[in-house]
């Protein structure tokens, strides 16, 4: 069975958090973890989020079908809903205090769409919480309660200093069992589980299950180095692969949410895709490092600075760009209005440019990584293409005669590098394609020179590049 990744580790409400006394500060290298647990358990809370059943159903529809069984179909008691009254249900996640003012960090998916939120303390008292702000892009949220006296606060640690093999301690409410402690090691850093544009997760084998969502991941000094968020599992239960948002990300996001209730990120206005070996040769690059610009959105910092489709961004703000996701995170980490430099490879030359970052308005507006497909061919290239009918051209917003429509892709052909039926090929080898002859000519030249042919394609209102190997034809 293929393992499943889920960000939705919410459990039905069961037990409140168990009480835990406060002891002396944790040792840097503990013989065991009792002092850390005694010190930090009071800082960890269970979170009950109540929302309409229809909201839960909407959340279910947003999750890939193979993951939907990992959320309960309906919060609360089983049975058919009473059609005479609106239905609500509750689910349980975890969280932790970060300020004396009563701010609680948790996951966005724990509280998203909730009409009422309660925080359950380790001494079994509960408080009504308000949502201060949420950031779906990193799946973080901040709540606030009217705090009691002598609140125990969890302090941020440095996730960047954590190395694989280091101790990690998770405290939370898996399956509603409050005050549960699990211990493991950091398994890996910078994991991309394809949950969002800023994936940079810590991986741990400390047991994380449904209901741990939003709880803290501590280091051996009792500092928070991550916010437990996701698991990978065939069954939805722990198999030793859990993921946490690193404190290096969470700390800044949480600070902005506390101060303003929202997160502002830099935005340049491009779609990006990774560079394959074939693309690197076609673009005359020495390596696959960098981010290929597949589309430049109008009236954005990128368009005003002069970026063009086909450019490869190899440097941002003086730092080397390794891939699109690293660039996305680097852009998002900068403040809107900030002036930054870009190093760009274009037509075999390296150029520099400056731009002023705008504000990303919605999560979708960030630099989007186009995933590699798999399609290549011969006819030319195993493709049946036709000129675009005028209604199709108008629908796609094309202003000139450029572009041919892919009607058929021959199986086992060179087009299996990524071409699909319905794609519109705009350019081949840097030249516009207005008819099948243009595509054939570019293909023949690429085969003669024994180099990949770089195509620019429009698909689903987005533009992307593909490199077709002559030997695959």
Give the 3-state secondary structure of residue 325: helix
Torsion of CA 127, 131, 132, 134, to 10 degrees: 140
Rg, C-alpha atoms of the chain: 26
User: Is 109 annotated in the active site?
Assistant: yes
270 vs 303: CA distance, rounded Å: 9
As a whole number of angstroms, the distance between CA 330 and CA 423 comes to 31
Which residues, 6 or more positions from 47, have their beta carbon under 8 angstroms from its beta carbon?
A: 92, 93, 94, 95, 104, 106, 110, 111, 117, 118, 119, 120, 129, 143, 214
Catalytic residue among 94, 213, 233, 463: 213
Residue among 380, 318, 400 at smallest CA distance from 354: 318
Per the annotation, the verdict on 139 as an active-site residue is yes
Selected catalytic residue, list 103, 109, 247, 376: 109
Task: With CA atoms as reference, report the closest residue to 302 among 360, 364, 362.
Answer: 360
Residues in the chain: 473
Block residue for tokens 């009563």: 102
Question: Distance from first CA to last CA of the chain, Å, rounded?
Answer: 35
**Total Cβ atoms within 10 A of residue 421:** 13
Half-sphere exposure in the Cβ direction for 18 (13 Å, CA): 12
* The one catalytic residue among 139, 375, 376, 438: 139
Beta bridge partners, 128, equal: 118
How far is Cα 134 from Cα 117, in angstroms, rounded to an integer? 14
Peptide linkage before 264 cis (omega within 30 of 0): no
Short-list 462, 442, 455, CA closest to 375 = 455
CA distance 333 to 327: 10
> What is residue 430's three-state secondary structure?
coil
468: tokens are 């077709």
| Secondary structure element (H or E) that encloses residue 280, with its range | helix 277-282
- Both tokens of 325, joined, read 């996701």
What residues act catalytically? 109, 139, 213
């Amino acid at each position: 069975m293929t393992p499943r990744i889920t960000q939705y580790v919410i459990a039905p409400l069961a037990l409140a958090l168990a009480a835990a006394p406060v002891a002396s500060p944790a040792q840097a290298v503990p013989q065991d973890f009792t002092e850390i647990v005694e010190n930090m358990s009071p800082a960890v809370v269970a979170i009950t989020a109540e929302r309409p059943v229809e909201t839960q159903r909407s959340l279910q529809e947003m999750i890939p079908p193979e993951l939907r069984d990992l959320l309960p179909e309906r919060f609360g008691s089983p049975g058919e809903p009473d059609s005479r009254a609106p239905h609500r249900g509750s689910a349980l996640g975890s969280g932790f205090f970060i300020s004396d003012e009563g701010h609680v960090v948790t996951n966005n998916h724990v509280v998203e769409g909730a009409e009422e939120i309660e925080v359950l303390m380790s001494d079994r008292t509960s408080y009504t919480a308000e949502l201060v702000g949420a950031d779906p892009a990193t799946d973080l949220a901040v709540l606030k309660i009217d705090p009691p006296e002598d609140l125990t606060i969890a302090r941020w640690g440095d996730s960047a200093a954590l190395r694989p093999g280091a101790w990690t301690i998770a405290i939370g409410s898996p399956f509603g069992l409050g005050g549960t402690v699990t211990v493991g090691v950091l398994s890996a850093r910078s994991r991309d589980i394809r949950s969002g544009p800023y994936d940079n997760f810590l991986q741990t084998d400390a047991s994380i299950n449904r209901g741990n969502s939003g709880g803290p991941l501590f280091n051996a000094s009792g500092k928070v180095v991550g916010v437990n968020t996701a698991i990978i599992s065939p069954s939805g239960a722990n198999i030793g692969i859990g993921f946490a948002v690193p404190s290096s990300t969470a700390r800044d996001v949480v600070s902005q949410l506390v101060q303003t209730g929202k997160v502002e990120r830099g935005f340049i206005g491009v779609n990006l895709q990774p560079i394959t070996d074939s693309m690197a040769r076609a673009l005359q690059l020495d390596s696959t490092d960098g981010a290929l610009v597949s589309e430049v959105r109008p009236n954005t910092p990128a368009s005003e600075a002069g970026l063009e489709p086909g450019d490869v961004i190899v440097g941002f703000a003086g730092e080397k760009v390794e891939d699109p996701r690293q660039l996305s995170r680097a852009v998002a980490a900068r403040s809107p209005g900030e002036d930054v430099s870009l190093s760009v490879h274009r037509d075999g030359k390296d150029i520099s440019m400056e731009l002023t970052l705008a504000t990303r308005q919605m999560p979708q507006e960030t630099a989007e990584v186009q995933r590699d497909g798999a399609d290549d061919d011969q006819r030319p290239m195993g493709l049946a293409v036709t000129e675009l009918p005028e209604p199709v051209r108008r629908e796609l917003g094309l202003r000139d005669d450029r572009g041919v429509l892919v009607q058929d892709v021959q199986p086992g052909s060179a087009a299996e590098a990524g071409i699909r039926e319905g794609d519109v090929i705009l350019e081949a080898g840097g030249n516009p394609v207005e008819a099948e002859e243009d595509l054939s000519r570019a293909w023949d030249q690429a085969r003669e020179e024994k180099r990949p042919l770089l195509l620019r394609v429009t698909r689903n209102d987005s533009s992307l590049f593909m490199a077709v190997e002559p030997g695959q034809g």
